Amino acid sequence: MGFNFSLTKNHSLKAILTLFFAIACVSFSNAQDLKAGESLYKANCTSCHAIDRKVIGPALKDVIEAQDEAWMVKWIKNSQSLVKAGDPAAVKIFNEYNQSIMSSFPQFSDDDAKSIIAYVKAERDKPKAAPTDAAGAGSGANASAVNDYTIIGLVILIAVLILVVYVLNRVINSLEKLIRINNGEVVDAVVNAIKEKVSTFKWVLLNKKKVFYAGMLFIFVFSIWSWNQMSSINVNTGYQPVQPIAFSHELHAGINQINCQYCHSGAFKSKNASIPSLNVCMNCHNYVQATEKYNGEISPEIKKIYTALDYNPETRIYGKNTKPIEWVRIHNLPDFAYFNHSQHVKVAGLACQQCHGPVEKMTEVYQYSPLTMGWCINCHRTTEVNSKGNAYYDKILAAHEEIKKGKKVTVALLGGLECVKCHY
């Protein structure tokens, strides 16, 4: 590196200047090395190594302490050549890890290897952050409890306030009455009160029609209101149950841009979109363990996958004590309604978001659409059939040319509103 180079030739001002420049350079290049090292480390090393604990390979903090940099660079680029050359340290490690061969990285330059080492060193020297997640969760729970109490408290407060207003009102009334009595207006007040009551009754008797219409109006409005209320029974739009694993679609589908089909492969060929089996999760979470977020520990959520599979990340062995994960179903169609994903996704070419909403932005998935029959039907009424390039529709469409009379061919036009299309 520039730093060493400068140290050897530093006898003049020029040299001092050079030194100054070099130091600046070092601080600059050092930062760059760490960044490059981090990305190289995360892309290539994390599947087998962690910094402060043993995974498949040894904990890297121990290795960098035991070995010098040059040896490390050679080892990273081709560990087997070191072993074959009979390097005692190399042979020892090789045997210690059951002679499992570490992948060679011949594509790394020496600088690449060194920047990884630099990054590992830097990570080792970082002070450990206090574990906060558990406390965070606890406080979150408390917060929600407080929220509940707040609402109850508010309700009580309002009730008390109303009571106070009422009592005050009564007090004022009594006081006014007292004043009136003192003024000798008692008789008038009583008579007036009676008169008022009689007149209200009379008004009702005299305006039967108005009362009738008002009543009808009330019944009408009430009926509409209750109809709407009734029809929203068991419509669970917004249903967002707590899932056994805090799986974030935002992270997977949104940030990481994993295609929906990767996990929900059934959507393209079957009626069920299907929740992925855990072996699909393990394709990535074999090595993606989010250790960087949890101080080198495996993410507790990812650990749930391992527990379910009885998988030991240290030994990489699957046990027999498995326990399936019981997800809570969000989108529940009644048994008498048949829905087929492939018809809509594969044939019609609909985007998942059309029914499921912006899943890629949902940390926790909720039911986006009402999933009522009206909702289905409305879509069938307006959606044009995706017949392009599908020979199945050729004949059918030709025959419909006469019927449609210039209108677009909707699902409904091809019988998409008929009972037995979905109910059998």
Q: Which structure tokens are listed for 3? A: 């730093």
Q: Which is nearer to another protein, 251 or 373 (CB)?
A: 373
User: Using CA atoms, how far apart are residues 2 and 32, in angstroms rounded to an integer?
Assistant: 14
Q: Which is nearer to another protein, 134 or 419 (CB)?
A: 419
Nearest in space to 284 (alpha carbons), one of 94, 46, 123, 121: 46
Nearest in space to 314 (alpha carbons), one of 41, 96, 54, 46: 54
Residues found in the chain:
424
CB of 270 to another protein, least distance (A): 4
Q: Which residue has the tokens 């080892």?
A: 75
CA dihedral 204, 208, 212, 218 (to 10 degrees): -20
Residue 403 touching another protein (CB under 8 A): yes
CB of 371 to another protein, least distance (A): 11
Among 272, 295, 363, 382, binds another protein (CB under 8 A): 272
Residue 269 touching another protein (CB under 8 A): yes
Cite the DSSP H helix spans in 45-85.
Answer: 60-66, 69-77, 79-84
Among 36, 56, 290, 325, binds another protein (CB under 8 A): 325
Q: Which is nearer to another protein, 195 or 423 (CB)?
A: 423
Residues 366 and 330: beta-carbon distance below 8 Å = yes
CB of 64 to another protein, least distance (A): 38
Among 18, 248, 340, 410, binds another protein (CB under 8 A): 340
CB of 394 to another protein, least distance (A): 7
Total residues binding another protein (CB under 8 A): 55
CB of 359 to another protein, least distance (A): 16
Residue 228 touching another protein (CB under 8 A): no
User: Using CA atoms, how far apart are residues 82 and 72, in angstroms rounded to an integer?
Assistant: 10
Among 329, 381, 407, 408, binds another protein (CB under 8 A): 329
Residue 50 touching another protein (CB under 8 A): no
Task: Please state the three-class secondary structure of 295-325 as a single string.
Answer: CCCCCHHHHHHHHHHCEECCCCEECCCCCCC
Residue 236 touching another protein (CB under 8 A): yes
Amino acid, res. 363:
T
User: Using CA atoms, how far apart are residues 409 and 257, in angstroms rounded to an integer?
Assistant: 34
DSSP 288: -
Residue 409 touching another protein (CB under 8 A): no
Contact positions toward another protein, by CB under 8 A?
233-234, 236, 241, 265-266, 269-272, 274-280, 308-309, 322, 324-329, 332, 335-336, 338, 340, 342-343, 346-347, 389-396, 398-400, 403, 414-415, 418-421, 423-424
